[in-house]
Amino acid sequence: MEKLDKIDLRILRILQTDGRIQNIELAEKVGLSPSPCLRRVKILEEAGVIERYVALLNAAKVGAGLTVFVRIWLKAQDADTVDHFTKEIRQLPQVVECHLMAGDCDFLLRVVATDLDAYRDFQVHSLTRIKGVQSVKTEIPMQKIKSTSELPL
Amino acid sequence: MEKLDKIDLRILRILQTDGRIQNIELAEKVGLSPSPCLRRVKILEEAGVIERYVALLNAAKVGAGLTVFVRIWLKAQDADTVDHFTKEIRQLPQVVECHLMAGDCDFLLRVVATDLDAYRDFQVHSLTRIKGVQSVKTEIPMQKIKSTSELPL
DNA sequence: GATGAAAGCTTGTCCTA
DNA sequence: TAGGACAAGCTTTCATC
């Protein structure tokens, strides 16, 4: 993929806010006719600039209203321990984000749950049962100030 | 909105992985004909269970390849200080997530940038210039293990 | 990048269980 | 109360300019 020009960026900005916009309307907004507009979208998709289209749900309304950040320290940092941990984490649907960190802790997770009870259950029965986990520190947000899937362009 | 039944959940699961699936195909997958399927989707949208449809971009390919977590402590925690800070944060497109925290720090942010240089620039020129910011601690992920917009259903 | 045409989808109405 | 059938009107999408 060569460089993104102004029209590509405009297309991406719009698709980031409305992934279901009709091509005909998108074309109008970026100042093209439908064919070349669709051609550009397809190119952006094939180049992997657009990774996927998804519906975003209201977390509270589907029983995932609580977000928790979890810091995790492993007993060791060798490849086996880390690989095993990451493999297990990827299987857990409550873990929506997981990063291997430089510095203080080993991993930083974002976990969703219905409420604190459900989270405690998850921590006791799933998270801390993974082999190699030494300690876990939970951090709880009181208010979500901002959360977006839109990347700056 | 009454309770979500099995078919609703199936619809939501599918739309979370493919927000652009055609109604006709969605209907087939959930075992309905197109009309009642579309009717359910519309109800889910109107009830706010489905909040929006978006395109997810490849962060690296649009110059947002670096994710950074930032902990922030304010000089005070009164309403004015906090409100001013949150208002400013919402304006910054590099901040894709911001939570008011219980406990240690005041805010936890997720920030995207092109590279460390760009992030330093952001921290020096935007973040720490916001009135009321006392200190900032940056945490850098070395590897993204998992990141999804799919909520467990 | 635009035009035009064929194929297929969306979506509303009405009917049925 | 919910699903199914059908049809009109659009969109998508591709070949051609």
Shortest distance, CA B36 to any CA of chain A (angstroms): 19
pLDDT of residue B76: 95
Q: Distance, angstroms, CA A34 to C1' D15?
A: 15
CB contact set of A97 (below 8 Å; sequence gap of 6+): A109, A110, B146, B147, B148
A90: which chain B residues are within 8 Å (Cβ-Cβ)?
145-146
Q: What is the pLDDT of residues A34-54, one digit of tens each?
A: 999 999 999 999 999 999 999
Q: Is the CB of A10 under 7 A from strand C?
A: no
pLDDT of residue A105: 82
pLDDT of residue A104: 85
Interface probe, candidates A57, A90, A96, A114, chain B, greatest B C-beta count within 10 A? A57
Q: What is the pLDDT of residues B77-128, one digit of tens each?
A: 999 999 999 999 999 999 999 999 998 889 999 999 999 999 999 999 999 9
pLDDT of residue B105: 82
What percent of chain B has pLDDT above 70? 100
Q: Is the CB of A38 under 7 A from strand D?
A: yes
pTM (two decimals):
0.95
pLDDT of residue A103: 87
What is the radius of gyration, based on Cα positions, of chain B? 20
The two structure tokens encoding residue A78: 């060798």
pLDDT band at B67 (very low <50, low <70, confident <90, very high): very high
pLDDT of residue A113: 98
Chain C, protein-covered positions (CB within 7 A): 1-4, 9-14
Q: What is the pLDDT of residues A83-116, one digit of tens each?
A: 999 999 999 999 999 999 998 889 999 999 999 9
Say if CB B30 and CB B37 are below 8 A apart.
yes
Chain D, protein-covered positions (CB within 7 A): 2-6, 10-15
Q: Where are the alpha helices (DSSP H) in B21-134?
A: 23-30, 34-46, 79-91, 116-122
Q: Is the CB of A36 under 7 A from strand D?
A: no
Give the residue range(s) of CATH 1.10.10.10 domains in chain B: 6-46
User: 3-class DSSP state for residue B75?
Assistant: coil
Q: Is the CB of B86 under 7 A from strand D?
A: no
- The mean predicted confidence, pLDDT, of chain B is 97
Shortest distance, CA B10 to any CA of chain A (angstroms): 12
Shortest distance, CA A123 to any CA of chain B (angstroms): 16
Does residue A1 have a pLDDT over 80? no
pLDDT of residue B90: 98
**CB contact (8 A) between residue A108 and residue B69:** yes
Q: What is the pLDDT of residues A62-87, one digit of tens each?
A: 999 999 999 999 999 999 999 999 99
Architecture of the domain whose range is A6-46:
Orthogonal Bundle (1.10)
Q: What is the pLDDT of residues A127-144, one digit of tens each?
A: 999 999 999 999 999 999
- Angle, in degrees to the nearest 10, between helices B23-30 and B34-46: 100
pLDDT of residue A109: 98
**CB contact (8 A) between residue A145 and residue B67:** no
Give the residue range(s) of CATH 3.30.70.920 domains in chain A: 59-139
A145: which chain B residues are within 8 Å (Cβ-Cβ)?
86, 89-90, 98-100, 107
pLDDT of residue A106: 93
CB contact set of A35 (below 8 Å; sequence gap of 6+): none
Amino acid at A26: L
pLDDT band at B33 (very low <50, low <70, confident <90, very high): very high
A62: which chain B residues are within 8 Å (Cβ-Cβ)?
4, 12, 49, 151, 153
Architecture of the domain whose range is A59-139:
2-Layer Sandwich (3.30)
Say if CB B22 and CB B36 are below 8 A apart.
no
